Amino acid sequence: MAEKNFTSVTEFLLIAFADCPEWALPLFLLFLSIYLITLLGNTGMIILIWVDHRLHTPMYFLLSHLSFMDICYSSVTVPQMMAVLLEHGTVLSYTRCVAQFFLFTFFGSIDCYLLALMAYDRYVAVCQPLLYVTIMTQKARLGFMAVVYIAGLFSALVRTVSAFTLSFCGTNEINFIFCDLPPLLKLTCGDSYTQEVVIIVFAIFVIPACMVVILVSYLFIILAIMQISSPGGRAKTFSTCASHLTTVSLFFGTLIFMYLRDNSGRSPQEDQVVAVFYTTMIPMLNPLIYSLRNKEVKEALRKILNRTKLS
């Protein structure tokens, strides 16, 4: 029976924000504005890092990949949100839902691993400054990025296979803005214990594992900063990590709230608000955080603007 229910599902109906149809157009325009700012900000950050030789350092190399991931991450979900709002519900084929879920997980996992790698980069820069150039070589950076992308691919495959070997029955309506795990689990029936355990264990491994790397790195960074005698030196050293800490707090805070909390008593509206934040707001905020709080980025941007005015 479970197999019959599973194979009979050929499409899903996204019906997010159906209770507030009057908000459809304002939310559509809001998401469109956020998406355009996200594309502009992250593309601008990549171009800025590419054209300014002062930004050809390991930290900005990793930041350029983070910006690229934010573009991809946002592009997988935000256009879908806008379609749901504009059409007051959107039908997705089973294959398209699987593809969206896989890509969303792939880019989201890479974001997690990248933020952990960026924390390690800051640890080496602050705690091992004399060895920084020899540790974070171009070859090492490329090797790190290869591991990050392979780990992201593995994470997405495990999570997607586990999610879509579940049996779906009853309604195929997803009260959500895209094909994500929490709303899909609500449509399951039959014996799904093994798959759910794999999904939960994997989520518990990926998110906390990245957080452990980040926390341990910043523990050593804080200890190193405390040993600096000059208050100005401490402030300058910590300022190099402030942007990354802000991004980490926003990204992992919302992921923990979404995926590692108790499912009981959760409303679809609450999940949708959280999902909107980490799929639209965070990719938009990241380039702003790194440009507003980073002296080198601001100087590079000022140089480009001055050159444009003179030409």
**What local confidence, expressed as pLDDT, does residue 188 receive?**
77
**What local confidence, expressed as pLDDT, does residue 3 receive?**
44
**What local confidence, expressed as pLDDT, does residue 261 receive?**
60
Q: Give burial (CB, 10 Å; 0-12/13-18/19+) of 74.
A: buried
DSSP label at residue 293: S
Give, in order, the Cα–Cα distances in Å from 246 to each of 89, 119, 179, 251, 290: 35, 12, 28, 9, 9
State the residue for tokens 């309604």.
Answer: 171
Q: Per-residue confidence of the chain (311 residues) as pLDDT tens digits? A: 444 444 456 788 888 776 777 778 888 899 999 999 999 999 999 998 998 888 888 989 999 999 999 999 899 989 988 888 888 778 888 889 899 999 999 998 999 999 999 999 999 998 888 899 999 999 999 999 999 999 999 989 988 888 888 777 767 788 777 888 777 877 777 666 666 676 667 766 788 888 899 999 999 988 888 887 777 777 777 777 888 888 888 888 887 777 666 555 556 667 777 778 888 888 888 888 887 667 777 777 777 777 766 66
Written in H, E and C, the secondary structure of 6-63 is HHHCCEEEECCCCCCHHHHHHHHHHHHHHHHHHHHHHHHHHHHHHHCHHHCCHHHHHH
Task: In whole angstroms, give the CA distance from residue 96 to residue 182.
Answer: 18
Q: Which of 74, 105, 91 is nearest to 14 (CA)?
A: 91
**What local confidence, expressed as pLDDT, does residue 268 receive?**
64
Task: In whole angstroms, give the CA distance from residue 238 to residue 176.
Answer: 39
**What local confidence, expressed as pLDDT, does residue 4 receive?**
41
pTM above 0.75, yes or no: yes
**What local confidence, expressed as pLDDT, does residue 106 receive?**
94
Task: In whole angstroms, give the CA distance from residue 29 to residue 139.
Answer: 44
Task: In whole angstroms, give the CA distance from residue 33 to residue 221.
Answer: 37
Tokens read off for 220: 């050593």
Contact 125/240 with Cβ under 8 angstroms?
yes
**What local confidence, expressed as pLDDT, does residue 7 receive?**
47
Number of H helices, E strands in the chain: 12, 5
